[in-house]
Structure 1
Amino acid sequence: MTLPSTKDKGALMKLMDNDSVFKDKMDFATALAGKIGPEAVMEIYAAQLSLQQLSDGGYPSEMESVIRDKAKATFRRYAKFLGAVSSLGEPRLSRSYGPGESPAHTLPSESLSLIFNWAAETQSSIGPKGWTPRLLRLICRHWKKVAEETPSLWRNIDFSGSMEWTHRSIQWSKSVPLDVSLVGYGLPTATFVERAQVALVELSRIRTLSVANPKEENIALLVNLFASRPAPWLIELGFTAGNMYTAGTGGMDVFHSGTFAGEVPTRLRKLVMSYAKINPSFPAFSAPLVTLDLQFCNVWQTVDQLLHSLNSLPNLEHLILRTNSEVPRMHASKVHDFKPKGVKLRNLKTLCLRNELAVILAIFPHLDIPNASTVSIAIDCEGATSIMHPNALSEMSTVFGSYLNNVFGDNTVLPGGFTTLAITPLLGWDGGYDAVFTEPAECRDGLTEFSLGFTHAEFVEISHEALFMRTLAWAPLNNRITRLVATEDVYFLNNDAIWAQIIGCLPSLAEVHVRESAPELIRSLSTCDPEEARSLRKLVFETTAFADPLIDALGAFILCRREKGHPSMNLSFITCKISDAALDKLKETMGVGEVYVFTGDMSALVDDSDNSDDE
């Protein structure tokens, strides 16, 4: 199977002529098709055909992103043409109306109000902001009157215009709960202060509130405004400070016991904050939260304090707590107030923790999370000494290994576990890595994704290789793994020895996807005991240059497997640099099964910046 190509014009034209549906569309839009030219039409057809073949299973799974990216780029290039073709089939009004004659001007107020609310909340092709309330009221006097008398239409406090408009919006919204967004970035201090004062005086009826990037000199004002009155209607609260200073020891508590006039916001379900200093007495920690997402916030001094806060949030479904060395560390001293699994979070679906090892090892065993579907752990090595403790690896096994064994059971004959492993860079960290395990072998409720990653730090004696191999030592993370994806740059994979260890640790491994570390993988396979790789059935290489020694090593490995009686090996080469002679040599090697090759330039598939159709 090959990608549809516009270069083979004869074959493509024949397919188009036999495709009655596509041909009818083009006949319907002959003038438009003539404008962009036959080659463009063939390119559009090739894109549509490739997506159809992909849907019908005509391409291997590793080609899905390539096919979709190429088709998407084609549709973007000719978006105006495709939009025009689509519009030709749209029904038109049976007659035109003079000024003020359209029935739209006489719709009942109740119906028009419902239409306004729907239009304001629906994406529109008229522009990025769609049918804004201000635009709707400009149509006619009747629409203006109805718009201004529909309070729910003005619940979103809009600061894009003048403050006069903001005051009008608040006035027309009457008593409906409000949605407010305050962004300080790029604003003069006086402007931000005015907006904050106008908006937060309505705190008692705000439904969703988002405050982002206030300047340091505005923090004190916000603290006072947040404390000025209760927030009984608040459902979502988001706060992102402009820099790390706000979360450090030098900043003030942005949220404290007096916030919201000291009253618990009883409707609050979602709390998302970054770079904030928060006192554990913050009333929101007593609300019926469903989502608690705190990124790089300075909140608790000890693990005991944190566990007390979590213990008062039994409704949590999503818990995200990430920090780094710039935020004051929690003391990871012995937990006194809770037994293992003493904090009951039975509704929790998502748990993401990032902190130094000692803190996470102190927190994790005390959480009872039987229904968690995603558990993501990131160990911050920077500035931490706990990762260098001689018992660090064994303590990790005690905490995480035991948790996974409890989740999947202790069936020694056929242990449960995950089937897919992806090794990726740790998000937001140069030099860090993440091991992401997904797709449990049996369909089950509960844990479907587990990841354990480490940031990079100098002077850490325990290497990433040792940390990763300790992770693979836990039965649920090795016995059932059939698919390994390592298509992103992770530095420690550029080593023959680590690949030999990985292969020896994954007895069920059937499929490997690699990019930068392909040479190391092939060399390790060529020197390992074929019995260790007996389960392998497929190798997928991306953007790799295959010189003769690499081809010879790959061929020798596959031939040796075949001589041992192991099944054939399928090969895929995606945007690799490989000669026809090398491909022929591989195809002639005994033990090589199907060989799939796509040698196109990846950049050409997605570069649509200067190829749009004419105006």
Structure 2
Amino acid sequence: MARDRPSPIVDEVLACRHDWVDALKSVWQAAQADRTAFPMLKARIEDDFDPGNGTHDTTVEANLSSHVLRLQPPDRRDEFDLYTIELLSDIWQSAYQSPTVLDELLSGEFDHEDLSQVHRRLAWSMWKLQTNGLFRARSRDNSPVRQLPVELLRVIFEELRAAHPRYPLLKGQDVWDRSSHLYARQICTQWRTIIDQTPSLWSPIVVDYNPYIARLALNLSKPEALDIITPRRPPRPRRLGPSNEKLIAYLLPQQLFRIRTLDIATRSWDETERVLDLLTASSAPCLESFRLSPGVHNVRNDYPAVTITPSIFSSDPPPSLRAVTVADLTIPLPSPLVQPTLVRLDLTRCRIWSSLDAMVDTLASLQALEEFCWRMSRGGLEDVGIEIMWPFESFMESSRNPVELRALHKLTLECPIQCTTAIFSHIVMPRTCRVAVLDDYMLTGEIEVERLETLVLGLRGTVGNHLLGAHVAEPCGTCPHVSLSQHPLAFSSSRNCLRIEGFQHDNSDDPDTAVFSISVFVNDRDATREEMQALSVLVREVLGWAGVKTATRLYADDPVVARFELWPAVLRSLPSLRCIDLGRSTRTKYASANVASLTQALALEDPLAPLLSRIVLRDLNLPLLLQKRLAFVIRSRFPLGCSMVALRIVNCDVDIDRLMDILRWDGAGMIYYEDDYSYQAMHPSPARVAHIGH
């Protein structure tokens, strides 16, 4: 902070600058005459940056304006400099709060050590004002940015807008990032003019709690196509304010003809019904993406009660509609939302088909479909208030012939495994298609052998056979990276959901790139031995598939990995495993339990994962006894033909120096600390490992 720095030597700073000192004294005296003069002058300057704008009101302001210009650098005295104005704001405040400070400071009667905090702050502001302009360009016209052509600046601003096309939540904040061009608009008048005269920058309109920006964008975006977005603010979303509801009521019927993207999250059934009524006002010839989600947590007994009638868009199907995402609504067919032009169809708990025959008939007409998501879980990861019961029996068999979807590259199904099996048997998809499956069968309570066998056989006949075909046909079918993690939606649910994923590349943080994904409801630390055995059967089945059993890296952070019973099944299924990346789940009560269970599995007489050469620990506690135990286990494995192990610590509560001593003495060099971690370090050469180990 500037106030914490020592005071500069004022008499040296002000040497031979009597005119500058006189101007500063004049400003100081003006504060005694009228303390509101400078704030009023500053307000006028910020409005239009005109030096003559502050000289017509009072004599005090007229004189003050001339004194302020004299305090600026010589090359900046033709117009007000905003940096100088900010420096004078602090000096002006000191002037009417402590009128004698300036004279005391200029008199030189005080020693450096005797200066008060008020003296030091004023001296520091004076020094910055005196050196103003020394480290900046002498003229604003010399700035290379200001000399850029208008056409080039517009391209730059458009790139800034495209940096946040979906308006994500800022990390760790409940604030929506509207677009970067709004920040650039505040830099200077020239940039503001260019941005305001570029309609393409204003086409995304976010309807949030500041309707001024939305209305401004609506006026400045003409005649561009519009992207209308309402924000989602978890975990306790609030309703849109009255002004925003009025804005929606105006946008939809009046501007529907030029809306390109419509993304609306309502907060009640009444709002949903009003929005759907507004969407029947006219057609939407420019609409490309449609998303409507009520986001209602307390579901009524007649759920889902709201229907998207065929009269939406005046019963005129949008000719360019490519993406549809709908949740918790009823969609009777035929519908303007389901058209052959669709590339993405995402339905969550929507009543749209009465049987598998109807689904197959619809999919047969969607030959351009690239992504199909059908989430109809019986209980659901999201707490919707009641258990949703659907007639799944009608989705377990079909008399239709299989439909070929050549463009499909991602299939997501959340339904009982019997429905998944039937759907897989009636869809012919490319071998490169990524698949994600969630089953409502919960591995808790009393274990039924028949249901477990049905689950295992169903997964083998669907995802397993798909991976087998991909593995045989193309190299992309292999998954060298496997992840055992917690489903992200399970964090807001009262249940845990284990997700097994396979990746072709080291990008386990991005689930959209997973080659396959299987999720099941499980119990975690309170699971019985029978439940863990059932889960081991499932994990052993999935990890033993072609293209998966050759995985070399395992990432695990689910609570179930804190139980020892699961680790032998995992390690036996992955004989080529070379790296284990172990993290901590928020549901794990004891952060060291994951490491303890892994250490116990590695200590078995029949050594598992003999090629293991790296262990990465993230956000875990590593007590001293556990450090010694891990080092001893790795040391005892080496004579049995196992590799030396590199240990990487990331954000763990560990004394590194003591850890290195333990690894050196208890591990006898068979396990060593690695402080150089990168993507290349995940695949170390054997020569480098041997060199560091010795």
C-alpha change, 1:551 and 1:135, in structure 2 (3 Å) is closer
Q: In terms of mean alpha carbon deviation, does 179-188 or 301-310 score higher? A: 179-188
SS of equivalent residue, structure 1 residue 380 = strand
- In the alignment, which of 535, 549, 552 is matched to residue 482 of structure 1? 552
Query: Quick check: 1:464–1:492 contact (8 Å CA) kept in 2?
Result: no
The alpha carbon displacement at 1:594 in A equals: 5.7
Match of 1:178 among 213, 226, 236: 226
Note the alpha carbon deviations across 1:194-236, whole angstroms, 9 max, x for none. 3233111122221111211243223332222222322111011
Task: Give the distance between the partners of 2:213 and 2:614, measured in 1 at CA.
Answer: 63
User: What residue in structure 2 maps to residue 592 of structure 1?
Assistant: 669
Alignment of 1:292 with 2:337, yes or no, is no
Q: 1:96-495 alignment to 2 at 5 Å?
A: 119=157, 122=160, 155-157=203-205, 175-182=223-230, 186=238, 191=243, 193-201=245-253, 202-244=255-297, 249-324=302-377, 325=379, 326-329=387-390, 331-333=392-394, 334-339=396-401, 342-381=402-441, 388=451, 390-409=453-472, 417-429=478-490, 430-439=495-504, 449-456=515-522, 463-478=534-549, 480-486=550-556, 488=557, 490-495=558-563
- Pair 1:570–1:383, CA change in 2 (3 A): closer
Distance 1:568 1:150 in 2: 61
Aligned in 2, Cα 1:519/1:308: closer, same or farther, shift over 3 Å?
Answer: same
Structure 1 unaligned residues grouped into runs of 5+? 1-86, 98-102, 442-446, 599-615
In structure 2, C-alpha distance between the alignment counterparts of 1:292 and 1:162, rounded to whole Å? 31
Change (3 A) 1:288 1:363: same
Give the whole-Å Cα distance in 2 for the aligned partners of 1:274 and 1:499. Answer: 38
Distance 1:485 1:88 in 2: 54
Q: Which has the larger radius of gyration?
A: 2
- Among 610, 614, 624, the alignment partner of 1:534 is 610
Distance across 1 between alignment mates of 2:160 and 2:412: 33
Contact 1:247 1:297 (C-alpha < 8 Å) held by counterparts: no
CA-atom RMSD, angstroms?
4.6
Distance 1:534 1:313, change over 3 A: same
Cα offset for 1:251? 4.0
Q: Give how far 1:505 is off.
A: 1.9
Give CA-to-partner distance per residue, 1:256-284, whole Å, 9 cap, x none: 32222222211011222333332342222
User: Which amino acid in the other structure matches residue 542 of structure 2?
Assistant: T
> How far, CA to CA, are the matches of 1:485 and 1:397 in structure 2?
22
Give the Cα–Cα distance (whole angstroms) in 2 for the partners of residues 197 and 91 of structure 1. 50
Hey, what's the Cα distance between the residues in 1 that align with 2:210 and 2:573? 64
Code of the aligned partner of 1:481: A
Match of 1:43 in 2: none
The 5-angstrom pairing of residues 74-113 of structure 1 reads: 93=139, 95=141
Counterpart residue type for residue 439 of structure 1:
Q
Question: 2:575 matched to 1:507?
Answer: yes
Query: Any idea what SS the aligned residue of 2:277 has?
Result: helix
Q: 1:564 aligns with which of 630, 635, 640?
A: 640
Give the residue type in structure 2 aligned to 1:474: W
Aligned pair count reads 484
Say if 1:451 and 1:91 are closer, same or farther in 2 by CA, change over 3 A.
farther
**2:603 counterpart SS class:** helix
Contact (CA 8 Å) 1:113, 1:147: kept in 2 or not?
A: no
Describe the shift of the 1:453–1:251 C-alpha distance in structure 2 as closer, same or farther (beyond 3 A). Answer: closer
Q: Distance in 2 between matches of 1:135 and 1:193?
A: 27
Q: Decide which moves more: 156-165 or 561-570.
A: 156-165
Structure 1 residue 549: deviation in Å?
Answer: 6.7
SS of residue matched to 2:441: coil
- Pair 386,147 (structure 1): closer, same or farther in 2 beyond 3 Å: farther
- The 3 A distance-change label for structure 1 pair 310 and 495 is same
Aligned to 2:109: none
Which residue of structure 1 aligns with residue 96 of structure 2?
A: none
State the secondary structure of the residue aligned to 2:318. coil
**Within 1, Cα distance between the matches of 2:408 and 2:281?**
33
Distance 1:217 1:400 in 2: 41
Specify the code of the residue in structure 2 equivalent to 1:290.
V
CA distance in 1: counterparts of 2:299 and 2:272, whole angstroms: 8
Hey, what's the Cα distance between the residues in 1 that align with 2:605 and 2:243?
A: 68
Cα pair 1:310 1:343 within 8 Å, conserved:
yes
1:307-359 deviation digits (Å, cap 9, x = unpaired): 322222221222233243244435243432434xx232222222222223222
Distance change (3 Å), C-alpha of 1:91 and 1:302 = farther
Contact 1:547 1:578 in 2 (8 A): no
Secondary structure in 1 matching 2:345: strand
Q: Structure 1 residue 529: deviation in Å?
A: 0.9
Residue 527 of structure 1: CA displacement? 1.8
8 Å Cα contact 1:247-1:327 kept in structure 2: no
Compared CA separation, residues 399 and 332, structure 1 to 2 (3 A): farther
CA deviation vs aligned residue, 1:230-258 (integer Å, no higher than 9, x gap): 21110111212131567974444442322
CA distance in 2, matches of 1:436, 1:504: 18
**Change in 2 beyond 3 A, CA 1:90/1:449:** farther
Instruction: Identify if the C-alpha distance between structure 1 residues 89 and 130 changes in structure 2 by more than 3 Å, giving closer, same or farther.
Output: farther
Does residue 602 of structure 2 align to residue 525 of structure 1?
Answer: yes
Residues 266 and 295 in structure 2, CA contact (< 8 A), matched pair in contact too: yes
Please give the alpha-carbon distance, in whole angstroms, between the structure 1 residues aligned to 2:405 and 2:136. Answer: 52
In 2: Cα distance, 1:92 partner to 1:275 partner: 62
Alpha-carbon distance, 1:96 to partner? 9.2
Q: CA deviation at 1:288?
A: 1.0
Following superposition, the deviation at residue 456 of structure 1 comes to: 3.5
Question: Would you say the 8 A contact 2:536–2:565 is kept in 1?
Answer: no
CA distance in 1, matches of 2:467, 2:482: 15
Provide closer, same or farther for how the CA distance between residues 567 and 157 of structure 1 changes in structure 2, counting only shifts above 3 A. Answer: closer
Task: Give the structure 2 partner of residue 52 of structure 1.
Answer: none
CA deviation profile, 1:510-531 (whole Å, cap 9, x unmatched): 222225411111112112313x
In the TM superposition, what is the alpha-carbon distance from 1:116 to its structure 2 partner? Answer: 6.1
Specify the SS of the correspondent of 1:288: coil
What SS is found at the alignment partner of 2:338? helix
Task: Using CA pairs under 8 Å that are at least 6 residues apart, name the structure with larger relative contact order, 1 or 2.
Answer: 1
